[in-house]
Structure formats: C-alpha cells, structure tokens
C-alpha cells in the first residue's frame, strides 16, 4: 500500500506564502524576498514559517534587511494562518530596526560551481520534505536514512542560506534546527 502524503511540499508552501504575502515571486535584482522555510511549532501545531525581508545585490555584494514580517502556513492545507510584523527584537537580536541593511560578500565554497550550487539549492526542498515529515509526526524516530538526510540538509542549508539571516533562522526555528543537528550527529 502506498503511503499517502500528509503535508504539502515545501515548494508548494513557498509558492503559497509568496502569493499570500508579496503577491508574486521575488523580482530579480532586489526587493521583497522570502526566506527558506522555517519549520516551527506554534501552539503545539507544526507549521511552516517564512520570513520576509528586503534584498538587493550587485555581482559582489548583497544587502539584506532583517526580517520585517513572518508568515505562518498550515503544512497540510497550505492556508496562511497569520502574518506577523516583526523587528530584530522578536528574534532576540539587539540590532536596531533602523540600522539599515546587513551587507555580505557572496561567494560559493571553494571548488563549487554554479551548477553544483543550483543542484544543492534544488535538493534542499526534498530534504526539507523528508525531515519535516519526521519532525512533525515522529521526532523520536531515528534511522540511518534520516541521519544522512539531516547531514545533507545541514550542508546544503549552510551553503544556500543567507549568512546575515542565520541568527533569525536559528531563533525562529530553534526546536527544528536543534532536532536536525542532533539527528545529524
């Protein structure tokens, strides 16, 4: 008997979050942008959150504002549960909301090509789907397949995520990211 899929895919949830918050996909070159998904529990229910922030870049430098909004989606229906306006303090950060964007010099890891970066970025949603299902339904279950997925996820997330936003990801998704790190050990 085939296993029925309980949750919408991260790709579907991302599209729904974009439509619900900014109305379309991010514009090339800068503007409002969505974060990678952030699995959370809110009032005991597993949800997928997305942080929204402003992003701009040149070929060498990127500027990222701290998240200004968080959207919370039901992972089963894809329904937008809530949108919350946030400041850095919401994430336990001391940065002033008026400090302006955070700057970072984007570079791929040594030896990584654009093609290998794209493959890693495209692999990340698959890993999210596998790990979210386990975390949301049976977080105490351990297997070699989950261990391998967690290790691969952390490597991909480290490369694909925006470094200035890491404290925000870790604060919002603390329970999930701690679970993934423990699973990867």
Mean pLDDT of the chain: 91
Average pLDDT over residues 104-125: 91
Tell which wins on pLDDT, 129 or 4.
Answer: 129
The whole-model pTM stands at: 0.91
Tell me how far apart the alpha carbons of residues 185 and 176 are, in angstroms, rounded to a whole number.
15
Nearest Cα to Cα of residue 32 among 82, 73, 83:
83
Q: Counting beta carbons within 10 angstroms of the beta carbon of residue 66, is it exposed (0 to 12), middle (13 to 18) or buried (19 or more)?
A: buried
- Residue 148 φ/ψ, nearest 5 degrees: -65, -40
Question: Dihedral through CA 151, CA 44, CA 22, CA 103, nearest 10?
Answer: -50
> 25 pLDDT band (50/70/90 cuts)?
low
- Cβ partners under 8 Å of residue 65, min gap 6: 53, 54, 55, 100, 101, 102
Percent of the chain with pLDDT over 90: 76
pLDDT recorded at residue 1:
44
Beta strand spans in the chain (E): 30-34, 38-42, 45-57, 61-64, 69-73, 80-85, 102-105
């Amino acid at each position: 008997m085939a296993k029925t899929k309980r949750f919408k895919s991260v790709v579907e949830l991302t599209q729904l979050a974009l439509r619900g918050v900014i109305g379309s996909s991010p514009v090339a070159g800068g503007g409002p942008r969505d974060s990678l998904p952030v699995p959370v529990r809110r009032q005991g229910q597993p949800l997928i959150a997305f942080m929204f922030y402003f992003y701009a870049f040149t070929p060498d430098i990127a500027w990222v504002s701290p998240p200004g909004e968080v959207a919370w989606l039901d992972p089963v229906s894809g329904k937008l549960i809530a949108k919350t306006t946030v400041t850095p303090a919401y994430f336990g950060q001391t940065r002033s909301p008026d400090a302006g964007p955070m700057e970072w010099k984007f570079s791929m890891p040594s030896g990584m090509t654009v093609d290998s970066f794209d493959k890693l970025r495209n692999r990340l949603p698959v890993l999210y789907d596998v790990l979210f299902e386990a975390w949301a339904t049976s977080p105490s279950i351990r297997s070699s397949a989950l261990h391998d997925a967690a290790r691969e996820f952390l490597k991909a997330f480290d490369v694909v995520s925006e470094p200035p936003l890491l404290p925000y990801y870790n604060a919002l998704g603390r329970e999930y990211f701690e679970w993934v790190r423990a699973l990867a050990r």
